[in-house]
Structure 1
Amino acid sequence: MSKSRSVGTVLNINSKKVGALKSIGGLELSADTVDVSDLGNSTGYREFLQGFKDAGEIALSGFYDGEDEGQAEVYTLLESGEIVACSIVFPAAIGKTWSFKAVVTKFATSADLDDAITFEASLKVSGKPTLAATESNPSQNTGG
């Protein structure tokens, strides 16, 4: 495996490839902390345990395509509130895929003078994501 450009990275949502993307934000894994400092502490420093983890929100942006099934699915899922399977498939040089479940929390379109019509969306990751080797399927970047 080696370093790679982002070109060829694919986002699949509910088994549909989202087309015309310019940017796919990354998962931002973080963990809460639980303060377990007690009166017997002799160091003067607080003590912590790791609490619940959160995989964050994924921001998407791209050129709006009224015929793209993946973009239509993002809008449909915002309306339904359904939690669905998603994946971010990196180029073959990286050989890794994020798999996770998410709910769509934002869908917006924008039309500015002297610019293409664009869209933005956000996916809130629900539960634990996995980062694993991409299956060696030549059509890996066409479905979820």
Structure 2
Amino acid sequence: MPVSAAVNAFGTLLKIGDGGGGEVFTTIAEVQNISGPSLSLEMIDVTNHSSTAGWKERIGGLLDGGEVTFDINFQPTASTHSYSAGLVKDMVNRTKRNFKIVFPDGSSTTWTFSAFVSKFQSKAPVNGQLSASISLMITGQPTLA
């Protein structure tokens, strides 16, 4: 019977670059669930009057790196979260940053990509922790290595 090679996702890190020469990446504090990148291929409809038996025909168009979304335990004064230095500031200033998702697979497999913070939604429930949901809109080609 085959044994699964599944990897436990606990310990995955999301890091943000400082934009400097010899860029330094800092782990974003208190990240919970991470989704993405959500890669897609735009399909272009090229159906014409000569298409075989009236079936739609398509060709591949532009590739899209999509989004990375994640949740955090929001710490308003944490350097990677704050309005003065973190994700909120980057969104307000329309700052493009480099990011890395580092998987705990024993090989340090990473997704690297450039992105803008496109959404920052904080949540403050009556009975629960202060949290936030963030979206990163990827620009250009993400790399899995």
Interval containing the TM-score (normalised by the shorter chain):
0.7 to 0.9
Query: Distance in 2 between the 1:125 and 1:106 partners?
Result: 12
Helix, strand or coil at the partner of 2:80: helix
Q: Say which structure is richer in helix.
A: 1
State the match for 2:20 in structure 1: none
Query: Distance in 1 between the 2:45 and 2:122 partners?
Result: 43
State the match for 2:98 in structure 1: 85
CA contact (8 A) 1:4 1:94 kept: no
CA contact (8 A) 1:17 1:69 kept: no
State the match for 1:10 in structure 2: 13
Q: CA RMSD in A?
A: 1.6
State the match for 1:53 in structure 2: 63
Asked if 1:120 is matched to 2:133, the reply is yes
Return the offset for 1:95.
3.5
Return the offset for 1:129.
0.4
Query: Distance in 1 between the 2:52 and 2:125 partners?
Result: 61
Aligned pairs, number: 131
TM-superposition CA deviations, 1:81-117 (whole Å, max 9, x none)? 1111111110033631000000001112221122111
Query: Distance in 1 between the 2:132 and 2:78 partners?
Result: 12
Moved over 6 A (4+): none
Structure 1, unaligned stretches of length 5 or more? 133-144
Which one-letter code corresponds to 2:53 in the other structure? T
Of residues 19, 23, 27, the one that matches 2:29 is 19
Q: Among the aligned pairs, what percent are the same residue?
A: 27
Query: Distance in 2 between the 1:64 and 1:44 partners?
Result: 54
Query: Distance in 1 between the 2:107 and 2:124 partners?
Result: 35
* TM-score normalised per structure 1: 0.83
* TM-score normalised per structure 2: 0.82
Structure 2, unaligned stretches of length 5 or more? 18-24
Higher relative contact order at CA 8 Å, sep ≥6: structure 1 or structure 2?
Answer: 1
